[in-house]
Structure 1
């Protein structure tokens, strides 16, 4: 028995109901979508080495695909896709129309405009990241139209309480930000914990500010990034202001030297 056959037989088969079939198809199509493929280094490099093809057996090992068994049913499901094609032997899959990777990367700026950071999710006792991922996707889908949810991790690869949410449109993200952020914001909570919502730009500014601080441990760094609205910078200080401050300090020092002499 081949290694692939042994791996395929190590998972419990499930019934591919219409709902399960749709979940399976949507998940694999997402892997190859413009929202994931250009930024998924492993998947992209695997495809580049094989003329765009990726082994279905490899995709079946991804955490969110392990529940879809047997793999033969996954192959059957992928054959119904309108954006993916399966090889004749049923071993590989790729996009029907290749993505313009360069153009997609250049569109990242536009994606960031419709992306928000939602912070302060419960994260202390998370054992199953896949289960949490699905739970948070359901949570946001009930509130707005979204493209994807990414869970951020700390240095130990554990969820740090922050979700990066890309909305279907800039208008959707602006509406969400206006509703749940600011002095008159509606309360947004998950499992009894109040959440904080920030623009992607503001979140990135805070990350850069955090990197510049000399923290002694990951605990301090994590706390500085989670649930503290007062720490979020509003804008960077202007270079001219910094220069003026240095000049004034230098003048004071010169005056002191003159007095001492």
Structure 2
């Protein structure tokens, strides 16, 4: 198979269609927020054209012209997108979020919806494979995508070391159907990439194998068990309120309702603060109703005088405070921390 790095006819169209595909949006949080998830907001084509991989497609007008031939996307040229250079683009069919019911959960945040889509994609094992053995010379992202696209692939994700970001030399590939995935795995002889025979296997089998080696349960198996129990422990549920599926990854949580919960949360916070302060004032009063301001400052005694407590100071016979030798205490504390239970917790995670 011949590879080329130069743009092919309609390659600009294919690239933008990929950006707006459900496969990409399940991992592309930035673009997911740009389109407001299932609300399908129009995105300026200028913004899409600024993406690193789009810069090879010039001029800008050629990208707009190609998008007008798309069967998946609409070019918007009215309202705020009127005039040359201001065009926008949107999906013809709004994005669907598996497992989300708009009527039952109309105020779901974008964070929550993205996590639901992302988790569904991760657990979509039936269409995905694991592959390695590409060598070191030909391993560019576009080159890998072009290779697998001939077999029906819709997404190729390079696996990287989380601490360095370097490529592990292997990929996860998602196909357009389970049939395409099965056909690729059944190839005989095995597929070759620039003359190198690839080591390929079903993604679910790979995930199970790695988790068994580490003695942990795969995420997809835990999620399936949670659903069988009635949803306990599922990520992206309502347990976190409107914080999103991972406990509110973003501080700028965007509610999809006309009026977000920000004002209500702010007022509720003020009420809680006032109740807490009033409760504290009441508890600081004695039975006669006189307040002693207990707890206002830790270095005051019951009469409100400062400095009567020694706080660990040694005094001589004349009552003059001296500095105690704490070197031994520091050494003992250090040994206690080193030999005690406060050890770094090692987290074993699924190989991704």
Pair 1:172 & 2:172 matched: no
Work out the CA distance in 2 between the residues paired with 1:154 and 1:33: 26
Does 2:65 match 1:76? yes
CA contact (8 A) 1:145 1:172 kept: yes
- 1:29-48 CA-partner distances (Å, limit 9, x unpaired): 11111221233111001222
> Could you state the TM-score of these two structures normalised by the residue count of structure 2?
0.45
Contact (CA 8 Å) 2:74, 2:91: kept in 1 or not?
A: yes
Q: What corresponds to 1:122 in structure 2?
A: 135
Task: List runs of 5+ in structure 2 lacking aligned partners.
Answer: 1-5, 100-115, 217-352
Moved more, 72-81 or 171-180: 171-180
| Other-structure match for 1:96 | 92
**Residues 47/211 of structure 1: CA separation in 2 closer, same or farther (3 Å cut):** farther
Deviations 1:179-222 (A, max 9, x none): 36xxxxx3443234332111111222345467779xxxxxxxxx
SS in 2 for 1:59: helix
Consecutive unaligned residues of structure 1, counting only runs of 5 or more, are 1-14, 181-185, 214-261
Q: 1:96 to 1:188 in 2, by over 3 A?
A: closer
Aligned to 1:67: 56
- Alpha-carbon offset, residue 74 of structure 1: 1.3
Q: 2:255 — aligned with what?
A: none
Larger Cα-atom Rg: 2
* Alignment partner, residue 87 of structure 1: 76
Alpha-carbon separation, structure 2, partners of 1:205 and 1:167: 20
* Secondary structure, aligned partner of 2:22: coil
Aligned partners of 2:211, 2:33: CA distance in 1, in Å? 29
Q: CA RMSD in A?
A: 3.2
Within 2, Cα distance between the matches of 1:93 and 1:37?
15
The question of whether the paired residues in 2 share the 8 Å contact of 1:116 and 1:199 is answered with yes
Change (3 A) 1:187 1:32: closer
Query: Partners of 2:211 and 2:47 in 1: how far apart?
Result: 36
Does the CA contact (< 8 Å) of 1:150 and 1:164 recur in 2? Answer: yes
> How far 1:167 sits from its partner (Å)?
2.1
Q: Which SS does the other structure have where 1:160 is aligned?
A: strand
C-alpha distance after superposition, 1:81-120 (max 9, x if no partner): 2322223223321112211123593864784202101112
Note the C-alpha offset of 1:62.
2.0
2:170 alignment partner, one of 162, 175, 179: 162
Residues 53 and 92 in structure 1, CA contact (< 8 A), matched pair in contact too? yes
Question: Would you say the 8 A contact 1:38–1:101 is kept in 2?
Answer: no
What TM-score do you get using the length of structure 1 for normalisation?
A: 0.59
Match of 1:102, SS state, is coil
- 1:137 aligned residue: 145
**Separation (CA, whole Å) in 1 of partners of 2:35 and 2:149:** 30
Asked whether the equivalents of residues 83 and 95 of structure 1 are also in contact (C-alpha less than 8 Å), the reply is yes
Distance in 2 between residues matched to 1:70 and 1:121, nearest whole Å: 34
- Give yes or no for contact 2:154–2:176 (8 Å, CA) kept in 1: yes
How far apart, CA to CA, are the structure 1 residues paired with 2:34 and 2:176?
A: 28
Contact 1:30–1:36 (Cα < 8 Å) also in 2: yes
SS of residue paired to 1:39? coil
| 1:40 alignment partner in structure 2 | 28
User: Are 1:203 and 2:199 counterparts?
Assistant: no
Whichever structure has more helix as a proportion of its residues is 1
Counterpart secondary structure, 1:113: helix
- Residue 156 of structure 2 is aligned to residue 149 of structure 1: yes
